[in-house]
């Protein structure tokens, strides 16, 4: 069931998403060669406390049999697609691709966003991967309009990615977001225009392309969380929470 949000609820979600984005920006500025992903997590949990919010991810249960997510933030490096678990033994080096995915709960509503960047200067292909993934997210956002269908969003993301010769991950998708982190509808990064649910005023969608340089397939590590590319190729991930309004798409997580 898709829950439509009132103007007032969207304003709370805007604040939740601003908290997410401000912390992501802050973390990004502090990341340097030699920092551990566990240290990033420690800083994230400190920052979130100052904002009167809670982590949306810590303790999150993805499915029975998998232990709840143990950290405040997901940090995924290089061939890791999403849901990397921070560790004090895992160090970031110059040239690594760093993806930060972060969510909070604020006044009963969720905010959710992600960015990817390369520490230092990446090669041309890595830069292109990151630029294409960001551009695919923007292409999807532009279609999040009243009267469009969900397939317009999905097809725009897929088209932008494949135009540049990269592939979109199928196993993980975006989602509605609101009083729960993952609400209906699922928002795939692939699809067909003019298909799927009709977009209505008050929907809030977390659009989040996950893009691989190589093949689209992923596999799970034994921790039950970390998804990596099956062929070992590099991967990028961007996410914004977007409200569908009469004035067009409003990106709640844009600063
Ligand atoms: Mg999400």
- Which residues of the chain, if any, have pLDDT below 70? none
pLDDT score recorded for residue 146: 98
Kindly report the three-state secondary structure assignment for every residue of 118-164. Answer: ECCCCCHHHHHHHHHHHHHHHHHHHCCCCCCEHHHHHHHHHHHHHHC
DSSP state of 87: -
pLDDT score recorded for residue 164: 98
Contact 212, 167 (CB under 8 A): yes
Written as six digits, the tokens of 181 are 């982190």
Map out the domains of the chain with their CATH numbers. 7-251 (3.90.230.10)
pLDDT score recorded for residue 3: 98
* Edge-to-edge strand list for the sheet holding 235-237: 167-168, 210-212, 235-237
CB atoms within 10 A of CB 159: 16
How remote is the CA of residue 89 from the centroid of ligand 1, in Å?
26
How remote is the CA of residue 176 from the centroid of ligand 1, in Å?
9
How remote is the CA of residue 219 from the centroid of ligand 1, in Å?
18
How remote is the CA of residue 187 from the centroid of ligand 1, in Å?
10
pLDDT score recorded for residue 62: 86
How remote is the CA of residue 124 from the centroid of ligand 1, in Å?
28
How remote is the CA of residue 240 from the centroid of ligand 1, in Å?
8
How remote is the CA of residue 114 from the centroid of ligand 1, in Å?
8
**R_g of the chain, CA atoms, integer Å:** 17
How remote is the CA of residue 208 from the centroid of ligand 1, in Å?
6
How remote is the CA of residue 116 from the centroid of ligand 1, in Å?
14
How remote is the CA of residue 113 from the centroid of ligand 1, in Å?
7
How remote is the CA of residue 203 from the centroid of ligand 1, in Å?
15
Q: Count Cβ atoms within 10 A of the Cβ of residue 178 and give its class: 0-12 exposed, 13-18 middle, 19 or more buried.
A: buried
């Amino acid at each position: 069931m898709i829950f439509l949000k009132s103007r007032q609820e969207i304003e709370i979600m805007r604040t939740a998403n601003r908290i997410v984005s401000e912390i992501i920006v802050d973390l990004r500025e502090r990341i340097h060669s030699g920092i551990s992903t566990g240290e990033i997590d420690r800083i994230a949990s400190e920052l979130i406390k100052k904002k009167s919010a809670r982590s949306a991810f810590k303790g999150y249960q993805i499915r029975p049999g998998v232990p709840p997510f143990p950290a405040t933030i997901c940090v995924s490096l290089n061939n890791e697609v999403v849901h990397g678990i921070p560790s004090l033994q895992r160090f970031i080096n110059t040239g690594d691709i760093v993806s930060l995915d972060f969510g909070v709960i604020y006044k009963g509503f969720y905010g959710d966003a992600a960015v990817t960047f390369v520490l230092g200067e990446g090669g041309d292909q890595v830069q292109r991967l990151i630029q294409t993934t960001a551009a695919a997210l923007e292409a999807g956002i532009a279609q999040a309009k009243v009267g469009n269908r969900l397939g317009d969003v999905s097809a725009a993301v897929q088209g932008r990615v494949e135009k540049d010769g990269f592939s979109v991950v199928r196993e993980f998708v975006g989602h509605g977001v609101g009083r729960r982190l993952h609400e209906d509808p699922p928002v795939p990064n692939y699809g067909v225009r003019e298909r799927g649910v009709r977009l209505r005023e008050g929907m809030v969608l977390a659009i989040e392309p996950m893009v691989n340089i190589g093949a689209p397939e992923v596999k799970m590590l034994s921790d039950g969380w970390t998804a990596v590319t099956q062929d070992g190729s590099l991967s990028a991930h961007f996410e914004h929470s977007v409200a569908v309004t009469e004035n067009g798409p409003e990106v709640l997580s844009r600063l």
